[in-house]
Structure 1
Amino acid sequence: MHAAAVRSRDYTPVLILAFCLLWSSAFAAAKVALAYCPPLLLLAGRFLLAGTLILGACALLGQLKRIPAREVAALALMGVLNNACYLGLSYVGMTTVSSGFTAVIISANPLLTALAAGPLLGERLTPLKLAGLGLGMAGVALVVRSRIGSGAEDLTGTLFVLAALVTLAAATLLFKLVRTGAPLWMGSGIQSLAGGLALLPVALMTESLDAIQPSLPLAAAFLYLTLGASVAAFSLWFFILSRASATKASALHFLMPPLGLMFGWLLLGESVPPLDLLGIIPIALGIRLVTTGGPVRSGIGR
């Protein structure tokens, strides 16, 4: 009976914590790498290597399976949105804005997801969940207004990160809309490879290979971004999405502001204004309401 209890134990909370730590720390690691390498070349190399590693591991473990071309195309589109567009725009933005500020903006993903999840996925938000989303976004808005108003962040870089937020929300919804028979890791590998292939020609046309400055910090950050973020974090994210509604899963992004600010401060010495800390309070309350405010019903299979 004890063995059965161990087998049935739900490790999802542990996986969620691991995802949040990997995802939020990747912003600071990216900021380190961007000091030595142009953003699109960095991402193209990261995605191509991650996709090759994941699909190679799938082949060794017997997890590669034949799926219809339509599903491959859908996974490739999600890869372009999730990797090439979301992170491409984020990294370009992070060349002029801080990593912690980027994490705060991206944490607004639940609001966009919730607004579209109703008509597209049939998800219904309870009043408590709506209140949680409102509180969370109020906290995000407080931080954004503080940073932009004080001139601490670049407006153009902020617009790039906001565009990245839109593509991330679109990718989240697309994942919930599309059914695929591909194993989780195989799907993640296809998406990474698609993102890398989409970014590579753009990177080669707009950035110079001579701008890359080989160094130990670049190598360490690149490996962390590839193995920790692209391989581990994205696989965990799709696992979480496959087990939760789009709105509830996206609510995890409300954890990113405090974690992103913390990693930016610890690793990069980025300043954390008092209003940033004040903004974390409604964000934390929003997390609790969104994740515990009653069931979210969906007409789409989970």
Structure 2
Amino acid sequence: MDFRAILMGVSFALIWSSAFTSAKIAVVYAPPFAILSVRFLVSGLLAVGIAWALGQRAHLTRKQWIAVVLFGVLQNVMYLGGNFFAAQVIDASLAVIIASLLPLLVAGINGLRGERLGWIAMLGLFAGLAGVVLIMGTRISGGADLGGVLIIVGAVLALTMATLLVQGASSGDNIIMVVGLQMLVGSSVLFPLSLATEVWVVDWQWQLIAAWTYTTLVPGLLATIIWFELVKRIGATRAATFHFLNPFLGVAIASVVLGEALGLRDVIGVMIIMAGIFAVQMARGR
């Protein structure tokens, strides 16, 4: 793994982890589904425009269109929609810790489907789950909203399904186009959902504008492009090792920007989760 790949991976992990904090800020000033629907509309149109300028076209097979729609609903509506909705009632640090289950869930389900997992990977799975349970138990007993926690868990399960079920949406030379189309799918679902369930009362403070602009352009667009380029450069398994940074980075950013308090059990749990994710990805990489 060369220096450029390491820089890309760390940058992706840092951006991905910061998205939970920016979401927490944004939902203070505007309805979550409304924010996301507009975000996906802008990000999607930008991605499609960039792809078109690069010569990419939306020439997809029927199977690829189904994959685009399915992934757009699972990731952009259920996963991100769930995260933004739950951000109204739970801490950003707790959300990023639960979301860190993703690589562990993917590895575990692949193991049930026949992928051979060594003892190191199995220990990593149990360690990661134990770390999340430790933190969740502490936070819930400390007053964290149980409904919000369950929504985040369901959102992570939706993204796990997307990761496992949706394959072959891109032919390899139209990645940015496919990313843009998935975002537009998310916008087309979230907008009517917002109209049906939310009152569009927006407090136009600079914090909202800054958080929305950041989450639209940086986690929404830049991070996606970095991720696909990283996977192209070093492969999906090796790229996924950078996910082990997410619990630490996400908790650190939420603590610095939002002033969210951290207890000793939170720190211990984060370290256990990081070790578990790292063990699983290293074992699978070998």
TM-score, normalising length from structure 2? Answer: 0.91
Whether the 8 Å CA contact 2:17–2:246 is kept in 1: the answer is yes
Q: By how many angstroms is 1:253 displaced?
A: 3.7
2:254 counterpart residue number: 264
1:225 counterpart letter in structure 2: T
Corresponding position: 1:52 with 2:42: no
| Correspondence 1:166 to 2:157 | yes
- Displacement of 1:137 after TM fit? 1.8
Q: Which of residues 84, 93, 99 in structure 2 aligns to 1:100?
A: 93
Aligned residues of 1:58 and 1:185 also touching (Cα < 8 A):
yes
Structure 2 residue 191 is the aligned partner of structure 1 residue 200: yes
In structure 2, what is the equivalent of residue 126 of structure 1?
118
More displaced 10-residue stretch of structure 1: 66-75 or 78-87: 66-75
1:20 is aligned, of 1, 10, 13, to 13
State the distance in 1 between where 2:241 and 2:193 align: 32
Question: Which of 69, 76, 80 is residue 76 of structure 1 equivalent to?
Answer: 69
CA offset digits 1:131-160 (Å, max 9, x no partner)? 112212211211111111121x11111111
**C-alpha offsets along residues 249-298 of structure 1, whole Å, 9 cap, x if unaligned?**
555444222111111111111111111011122223223322322546xx
Give the residue type in structure 1 aligned to 2:59.
R
Q: Give a deviation string over 1:143-183, Cα, whole Å, max 9, x none.
A: 111111121x11111111111111111111124x4353152
Distance 1:123 1:236, change over 3 A: farther
Q: Is the 8 A contact 2:240 2:281 kept in 1?
A: no
Would the aligned equivalents of 1:251 and 1:291 in 2 still touch at CA under 8 Å? yes
Post-superposition offset of 1:94: 1.1
Query: Which deviates further from its counterpart, 23-32 or 73-82?
Result: 73-82
Q: 1:232 to 1:123 in 2, by over 3 A?
A: farther
Aligned sequence identity (%): 35
Any conservation in 1 of the 2:248–2:271 contact (CA below 8 Å)?
no
1:49 to partner: Cα distance: 0.6
Cα contact 2:48–2:181 (8 A) shared by 1: yes
The Cα of 1:193 is off from its aligned counterpart by: 0.9
Letter of the 1:158 partner, please give it. V
Give distance in 2, aligned partners of 1:250 and 1:113: 11
Whether the 8 Å CA contact 1:106–1:253 is kept in 2: the answer is: no
Letter in 2 for 1:25: S
Instruction: Say whether residues 1:30 and 2:20 are aligned partners.
Output: no
Per-residue CA deviations over 1:50-90 (Å, capped at 9, x if unaligned) read: 00000011111212252213212211210111111101111
- Aligned 8 A contact 1:19 1:236 in 2: yes
Provide the residue aligned with 1:217 in structure 2. Answer: 207
How far does residue 118 in structure 1 lie from its aligned partner after superposition? 3.3
Distance 1:110 1:251 in 2: 9
Q: What is the CA–CA distance in structure 1 between the aligned matches of 2:15 and 2:147, rounded to whole Å?
A: 27
Report the counterpart of residue 3 of structure 1 in structure 2. Answer: none
Maintained 8 Å contact 1:252/1:287: no
What is the DSSP-based 3-state SS (H/G/I as helix, E as strand, rest coil) of the residue aligned with 1:114?
helix
Query: Contact 1:148–1:155 at 8 Å: present in 2 too?
Result: yes
- Matches of 1:286 and 1:76, distance apart in 2: 32
Separation (CA, whole Å) in 2 of partners of 1:34 and 1:86: 16
Kindly state the Cα deviation for residue 93 of structure 1 after the two structures are TM-superposed.
Answer: 1.0
The one-letter code matched in structure 2 to 1:289 is A
Q: State the one-letter code of the partner of 2:126.
A: G
Q: Is 1:178 aligned to 2:168, yes or no?
A: yes
Mapped contact 2:63–2:169 kept (Cα < 8 A): no
Q: How many angstroms apart in 2 are the aligned matches of 1:184 and 1:24?
A: 23
**Paired AA for residue 125 in structure 2:** L
The CA distance in 2 between the partners of 1:17 and 1:180, in whole Å, is: 25
Aligned match for 1:142, one of 134, 143, 151: 134
Contact 2:127 2:272 in 1 (8 A): yes
Q: 1:236 aligns with which of 226, 231, 239?
A: 226
AA in 2 matched with 1:42: I
RMSD, aligned α-carbons: 2.1
